[in-house]
Amino acid sequence: MAQESALLNVMTGAARKAARGLVRDFGEVENLQVSRKGPADFVSAADHKAERIVCAELRKARPRYGILSEESGLTEGADTSNRWIVDPLDGTTNFLHGLAHFAISIGLERDAELIAGVIYAPVLDQLFVAEKGQGARLNGNRLRVSARKQMGDALFATGIPFMGVGDHERVLQEVGAVMAVSAGVRRFGTASLDLAYVAAGRFEGFWETGLYPWDMAAGIVLVREAGGYVSEIGGGTEMMKNRNILAANDSLHQPLGRILRSVATQKPQ
Ligand code: IPD
Ligand code: CA
Ligand code: CA
């Protein structure tokens, strides 16, 4: 098993510490105090607690770094080169419905470049880590994107918006176009894990519109370090700014992008 760097140690330590509370709260999911942030956009007490723990651990280890986290927004650090990007509970809807597919996601951006990512799915005890130039690993084992080259063999993941959010018609067209030529489309409900699963070769690709930086920062590093490609759906490279992503193995990134872009072109104005 490869030796973890000091940086990844900090990140995995923070994720594992917050995970203990999340797992306990997941066991008592029906008793949680839940508040509504917007239609179907739940934020649980567990979510806030996990964020406090992750941020406190990161601050303890790197007091000068900034933090962008889902619930607290941006806290600038004295060191403006380094910024953690944190989703303390990705897959909140799954969590609240008693589905174990959720994760803590921590990315690190240095000089505007994503350089490290940790995604931890605590119930499944799956720890995905990646650091620029050092590869990606799952529970210590090296990851590589899938080798499937044919759309007809490929399994893809996406995110489907919900009441009051996103362009439902376009998403349905995208899913229709991809399902017609692939082995299937999955919607598991945790974008960070969708990206981690692309890195692990479980999905050949993933796309979603309307994501935030904390949904994708760590996953972008994982996919790249596992040999995959990440871009905007339109091909650009400002995924976090433009809030959409297309990640896939080296063979299928372009074909998947072409299909998704053809749907966008067909859309009546
Ligand atoms: C959500 C999940 C979901 C994605 C949504 C995200 P949250 O994050 O990643 O898979 O489809 O767009 O908002 O709210 O559970 O942290
Ligand atoms: Ca999220
Ligand atoms: Ca979240």
Inter-helix orientation angle 45-61/6-27, to 10°? 160
Residue 263 CB neighbour total at 10 angstroms: 18
Kindly list the structural domains of the chain, giving each domain's residue range(s) and its CATH number in brackets, ordered by start.
6-142 (3.30.540.10), 151-265 (3.40.190.80)
How much is the pTM?
0.94
pLDDT at residue 35 tops 80? no
Q: 21: pLDDT confidence band, cut at 50, 70 and 90?
A: very high
For residue 95, give the ligand nearest its CA: 1
pLDDT at residue 200 tops 60? yes
Is the Cα torsion angle 185, 189, 191, 197 positive or negative in sign?
negative
Q: How far is CA 86 from the centre of its chain?
A: 10
Compute, in angstroms, the gap from residue 176 CA to the centroid of ligand 2. 25
Model confidence over 120-140: pLDDT tens digits?
Answer: 999 999 999 999 999 999 999
Our mutation pick for probing the ligand 1 site, out of 47, 162, 190, 209, counting the most ligand atoms within 8 A of Cβ, is 190
Copy the structure tokens of residue 122. 């605590």
The phi, psi pair for 75, rounded to 5°, reads -115, 110
Distance CA 148, CA 71 (A): 38
Distance CA 216, CA 50 (A): 18
pLDDT at residue 245 tops 50? yes
